[in-house]
Amino acid sequence: MIAHASATTDSRVEQWERRTEVPLVALALAFLVAYAWPVLDPRLDADLLTVLSAVTWTVWAAFAADFIVRLALAGSGNRGEYAVRHWYDVALIVVPMLRPLRLLRLLALVRILDRSASNSLAGRVLVYVSGSAAMAVGLGAIAVLDAEQDAADSNITTFGDALWWACTTVTTVGYGDQYPVTLEGRAVAVVLMIVGIGVVGAVTASVATWLMSRAETGTS
């Protein structure tokens, strides 16, 4: 009976997540625009800045409401466990300084694309690697520009500089011609390095698996 109740609870939460996945991605995209626009154009009109700020807080409220609904669907006996398992959602809602991290909701786009991807290894690698790398580069460039453009001795002062730096960092090339000088910028760099290692590792492992399967097929 307990197992059946747990399965029912998980099913209800999963149904809610499937229904709200696309709207939440749309909200995350709206948040991306509202967050990135002032970074890319610091001379925006004050009224427009107010509107963009209202958009970011509206998206925050929507994500908070979504999490509250999921907690309710988890049931009174499972809410604590659900909150612990989704600690990152709690952090993004409770700590205002982490608001830009709600852009990680855009990773749901990868899951949506995966549904239309082929079942082959190559198809899935293309979806996950290209999607993750593109989002990491784009968001990393905006985040590091936000941190660096007004810093003293900064060498990342335009979006072009930030995009080039993000590309070389996520691919683990790291030419060293562009680099962050602020604590916030270096934190973004660490995240991009970790993502880059994961992307390169995923590609290497997938190619090795594909080559081994081809070799086994040829020898059988």
Give the CATH number for residue 209.
1.10.287.70
Confidence of residue 3 (pLDDT cuts 50, 70, 90): very low
Tell me, what's the pLDDT at 9? 58
Domain that holds residue 165: 117-220
136 and 91 co-located in one domain: no
Q: How many CA atoms lie within 13 A of 40 on its CB side?
A: 13
Tell me, what's the pLDDT at 96? 63
- Using alpha carbons, select from 137, 117, 144, 138 the residue that is nearest to residue 128: 117
For the chain, the average pLDDT equals: 79
Q: Is residue 75 part of a domain?
A: yes
Q: Within a 10 A sphere around the Cβ of 214, how many other Cβ atoms?
A: 10
Average pLDDT over residues 127-136: 72
Tell me how far apart the alpha carbons of residues 73 and 204 are, in angstroms, rounded to a whole number. 40
Q: Contacts from 118-126 at CB under 8 Å and sequence distance 24+?
A: 121/206, 121/209, 121/210, 122/210, 125/202, 125/203, 125/206
Q: Is residue 105 part of a domain?
A: no
Question: Is 70 exceeded by the pLDDT of residue 156?
Answer: yes
Tell me, what's the pLDDT at 4? 47
Tell me how far apart the alpha carbons of residues 186 and 18 are, in angstroms, rounded to a whole number. 35
How many domains are contained in the chain? 2
DSSP assignment letter at 118: -
144 and 198 co-located in one domain: yes
Confidence of residue 86 (pLDDT cuts 50, 70, 90): confident
Q: Give the three-state DSSP class for 207.
A: helix
47 and 143 co-located in one domain: no
Average pLDDT over residues 184-210: 79
91 and 2 co-located in one domain: yes
Average pLDDT over residues 46-57: 91
Q: Is residue 192 part of a domain?
A: yes
- Assess contact for 102 and 93: CB atoms under 8 A: no
Q: Is residue 35 part of a domain?
A: yes
17 and 89 co-located in one domain: yes
Which of 99, 126, 154 marks a domain boundary? 99
| Residues in contact with 39: Cβ distance below 8 Å, sequence separation at least 6, in sequence order | 142, 145, 146, 149
pTM for this entry: 0.68
89 and 160 co-located in one domain: no
Average pLDDT over residues 152-168: 92
Question: Is 80 exceeded by the pLDDT of residue 66?
Answer: yes
Tell me, what's the pLDDT at 10? 64
Q: Is residue 109 part of a domain?
A: no
92 and 155 co-located in one domain: no
